[in-house]
């Protein structure tokens, strides 16, 4: 499937990919500090393993540096 | 391990990035700027899509570690460290309000905070409405569609008034109004602001947190309780940043543009201060009780004010909110201003200085110092009397402090 990560389209071969899984395969830096937006909506930290991405989704990894996650 | 206690969490807050030399303390990154390998990385960092520091006025590793330590013990959504407690208050208000808006507060406030509301921000069109915040019902009557916050001090300085914060925050929430609490006198470890419904906590970390007046600093804590959709100024931020609307607007606009950042060196000192905060709070509070009990004996002084005394009107509320740590400041009254000055001048150990929560015990005559800019009528409304002395109790031996007070009182009587 094709998904947009931080505005760049990328091909992902994994199926049933959760946000938690995407954080790993995309090798997201300081993953414990990142806030994830899926199609413009924030994903609660507690829900990253039960929220799944699908074809054409847009995912943004955001950092509020300095004490904000 | 889970559910670590305050001091353990502070001491073992992990660095976000491993130190290349294995330093146990976060080093002082006393630099201005940070280099990127590629232009693309720089672009991502500016867009907030790469975890990186760009410029120390906006964020810095040493300052960030101090912020992270506070976040670890408050379970906050976000924490920002600033150059002073007054910067924490002004940056917060400038983020949530604009010309024509109002905030509700009390005249029983730290003098500089009152001056900020009544002079500095008033000139920019912000109205401060004054209420008796101990009366939630009356306070609610002042709220209208332009009210952006209720601002309170957990223990007012130097009136030592204690608001029922849960009652006030529940009342504020019924109207969708933000609650900002200045917790300088009861910082995290003493008071769990989030549990009592405080949305934004502001602290002068110069006081207790800094480790005994080592440096000037301030902190803003967003506890993540408020729905920022309720604030018209932050609506566009909510669309883009959801629950991070306030902290992002602050970091990327108000804090960045005002420039009141904490210096890395101060962050280092304040981070060290946090490590011993519980020990110093316990020592100062215990000393305060002993001195208050001594002064409260018949014939010592005209009256003693401390929320930890059973005859204080705020005893029950203080007990509920701060347990056995209702601050380390007390005030007492003598017969006149002249008697106050004579008493202060007769002290051999206690220092005459304006600050709170130094490791040393400090004494001040509020009416002639931190409230000197106000006329008698305003002082009266603010609860400031010419006969009042403020004592900020340190961590010295309580017997030595009481002996000093006793010998100087003997000269006044």
Distance CA B66, CA B220 (A): 12
Reply yes or no on whether the pLDDT at B323 is more than 60: yes
Cβ separation A68–B244 shorter than 8 A:
yes
Distance CA A68, CA B303 (A): 45
Can you give the pTM of this predicted structure? 0.92
Q: What is the pLDDT of residues B344-357, one digit of tens each?
A: 999 999 999 999 99
Q: Is B16 within 8 Å of chain A by CB?
A: yes
Question: In this structure, are residues B76 and B69 in contact, taking their beta carbons and an 8 Å threshold?
Answer: no
Mutate which of B51, B77, B219, B221 to disrupt the A interface (most A C-beta within 10 Å)?
Answer: B51
Distance CA B110, CA B373 (A): 13
Q: Is B51 within 8 Å of chain A by CB?
A: yes
Looking at per-residue pLDDT, the higher value among B193 and B212 belongs to B193
Cβ separation A68–B81 shorter than 8 A:
no
Distance CA B100, CA B98 (A): 6
- CB contacts, 8 Å: A37 with chain B: 242
Cβ separation B68–A62 shorter than 8 A:
no
Identify the closest residue of chain B to A31 by CA–CA distance.
B51
Give how far A14 is from chain B: nearest CA, Å: 23
Helix (H) / strand (E) containing A24:
helix A19-25
- CB contacts, 8 Å: B242 with chain A: 37, 41-42
Rounded mean pLDDT of B133-142? Answer: 95
* % of chain B beyond a pLDDT of 90: 91
Q: What is the 3-state secondary structure (H, E, C) of chain B?
A: CCCCCHHHHHHCCCCCCCCCCCCCCCCCCCCCECCCCCHHHHHHHHCCCCCCCCECCCCCHHHHHHHHHHHHHHCCCEEEEECCHHHHHHHHHHHHCCCCCEEEECCCCCHHHHHHHHHHCHHHCCEEEECCCCCHHHHHCCCCCCEEEEEEECECCCCCCECCHHHHHHHHHHCCCEEEEECCCCCCCCCCHHHHCCCEEEEECCCCCCCCCCCCCEEEEECCCCCHHHCHHHHHHHHHHHHHHHHHHHHHHHHHHHCCECCHHHHHHHHHHHHHHHHHHHHHHHHHHHHHHHHCCCCCCCEEECCCCCCCCCHHHHHHHHCCCCCCEEEEECCCHHHHHHHHHHCCCCEECCCCCCCCCEEECHHHCCCCCCCHHHHHHCCCCCCEEEEECCCCCHHHHHHHHHHHHHHHC
Distance CA B155, CA B314 (A): 10
Q: Is B248 within 8 Å of chain A by CB?
A: yes
* Gyration radius (Cα) of chain B, Å: 22
Helix (H) / strand (E) containing A37:
strand A35-38
Q: Is B402 within 8 Å of chain A by CB?
A: no
- pLDDT for A68: 47
Cβ separation A65–B51 shorter than 8 A:
yes
Question: In this structure, are residues B146 and B167 in contact, taking their beta carbons and an 8 Å threshold?
Answer: no
Give me the residues paired with residue B155 across strands.
B162
Q: What is the pLDDT of residues B66-113, one digit of tens each?
A: 999 999 999 999 999 999 999 999 999 999 999 999 999 999 999 899
DSSP state of A13: -
- CB contacts, 8 Å: B243 with chain A: 42
Per the listing, tokens 């601050």 go with B327
Rounded mean pLDDT of B250-260? Answer: 94
Q: Over chain B, what is the mean pLDDT?
A: 95
Q: Is B251 within 8 Å of chain A by CB?
A: yes
Mutate which of A34, A36, A65 to disrupt the B interface (most B C-beta within 10 Å)?
Answer: A65
Rounded mean pLDDT of B263-282? Answer: 97
Q: pLDDT band at B47, cuts 50/70/90?
A: confident
DSSP state of A21: H
Distance CA B204, CA B144 (A): 29
Reply yes or no on whether the pLDDT at A67 is more than 70: no
Per the listing, tokens 């992990």 go with B14
Rounded mean pLDDT of B318-335? Answer: 97
Give the A-side interface with B, CB within 8 Å.
6, 29-30, 33-35, 37, 41-42, 60-69
Among the partner-chain residues B47, B53, B242, the one whose CB lies closest to the CB of A42 is B242
Q: Is B242 within 8 Å of chain A by CB?
A: yes
Domains identified in chain A and CATH numbers:
2-63 (3.10.20.30)
Interface predicted TM-score (ipTM): 0.75
Length of chain A: 69
CA–CA distances in Å: residue B263 to residues B80, B92, B238, B356? 12, 19, 30, 21
Lowest mean per-residue pLDDT among B163-177, B307-321, B344-358, B365-379? B365-379
Identify the closest residue of chain B to A42 by CA–CA distance.
B242
Q: Is B312 within 8 Å of chain A by CB?
A: no
Reply yes or no on whether the pLDDT at B250 is more than 50: yes
Put simply, the chain B residues between 218 and 237 with a CB less than 8 A from any chain A CB are 222
The angle formed by the CA atoms of residues B266, B270 and B276, to the nearest 5 degrees, is 155
- CB contacts, 8 Å: A68 with chain B: 77-80, 222, 244, 247-248, 251
Q: Which of B331, B399, B319 is nearest to B371 (CA)?
A: B331
Distance CA A55, CA A1 (A): 5
Cβ separation A68–B64 shorter than 8 A:
no
As given in the structure block, the two tokens for residue B1 are 């391990």
Length of chain B: 413
Q: What is the pLDDT of residues A9-65, one digit of tens each?
A: 999 988 899 999 999 998 888 888 888 999 989 998 889 999 999 999 999 998 886
Per the listing, tokens 């670890």 go with B72
- pLDDT for B1: 65
Q: What is the pLDDT of residues B31-42, one digit of tens each?
A: 999 999 999 999
Give me the residues paired with residue B33 across strands.
B55
Q: pLDDT band at A69, cuts 50/70/90?
A: very low
Cβ separation B248–A61 shorter than 8 A:
no
């Amino acid at each position: 499937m094709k998904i947009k990560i931080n505005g760049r389209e990328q091909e992902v071969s994994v199926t049933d990919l959760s946000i938690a899984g995407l954080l790993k395969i995309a090798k997201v830096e300081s993953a414990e500090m990142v806030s994830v937006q899926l199609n413009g909506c924030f994903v609660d930290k507690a829900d990253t393993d039960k929220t799944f991405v699908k074809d054409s989704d847009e995912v943004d990894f955001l950092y509020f540096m300095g004490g904000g996650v | 391990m889970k559910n670590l206690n305050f001091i353990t969490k502070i001491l073992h807050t992990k660095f976000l990035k491993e130190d290349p030399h294995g330093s146990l303390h976060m080093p002082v990154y006393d630099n201005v700027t940070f280099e990127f390998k590629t232009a693309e990385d720089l672009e991502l960092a500016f867009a907030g899509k790469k975890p990186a520091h760009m410029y120390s006025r906006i964020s810095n590793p040493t300052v960030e570690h101090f912020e992270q330590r506070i976040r670890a013990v408050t379970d906050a959504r976000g924490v920002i460290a600033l150059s002073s407690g007054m910067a924490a208050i002004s940056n917060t208000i400038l983020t949530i309000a604009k010309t024509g808006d109002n905030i509700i507060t009390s005249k029983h406030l730290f003098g500089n905070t009152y001056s900020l509301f009544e002079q500095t921000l008033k000139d920019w069109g912000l109205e401060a409405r004054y209420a008796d915040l101990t009366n939630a019902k009356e306070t609610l009557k002042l709220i209208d569609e332009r009210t952006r916050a209720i601002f309170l001090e957990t223990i007012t300085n130097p009136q030592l008034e204690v608001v029922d914060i849960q009652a006030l925050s529940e009342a504020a929430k019924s109207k969708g109004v933000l609650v900002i609490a200045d917790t300088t006198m009861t910082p995290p470890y003493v008071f769990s602001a989030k549990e009592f419904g405080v949305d934004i906590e502001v602290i002068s970390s110069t006081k207790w947190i800094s480790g005994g007046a080592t440096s000037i600093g301030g902190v803003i804590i967003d506890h993540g309780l408020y729905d920022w959709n309720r604030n018209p100024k932050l609506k566009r931020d909510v669309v883009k940043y959801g629950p991070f609307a306030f902290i992002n607007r602050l970091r990327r606009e108000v804090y960045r543009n005002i420039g009141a950042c904490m210096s890395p060196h101060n962050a280092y000192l304040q981070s060290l201060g946090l490590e011993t905060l519980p020990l110093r709070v316990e020592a100062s509070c215990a000393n305060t009780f002993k001195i208050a009990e001594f002064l409260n004996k018949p014939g010592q002084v005209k009256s003693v004010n401390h929320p930890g005394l059973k005859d204080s009107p705020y005893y029950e509320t203080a007990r509920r909110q701060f347990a056995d740590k209702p601050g380390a400041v007390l005030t007492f009254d003598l017969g006149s201003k002249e008697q106050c000055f004579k008493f202060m001048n007769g002290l051999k150990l206690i220092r005459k200085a304006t600050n709170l929560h130094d490791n040393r015990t400090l004494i001040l005559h509020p009416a002639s110092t931190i409230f000197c800019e106000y006329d008698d009528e305003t002082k009266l409304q603010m609860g400031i009397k010419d006969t009042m002395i403020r004592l900020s109790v340190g961590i010295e031996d309580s017997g030595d402090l009481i002996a000093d007070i006793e010998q100087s009182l003997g000269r006044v009587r």
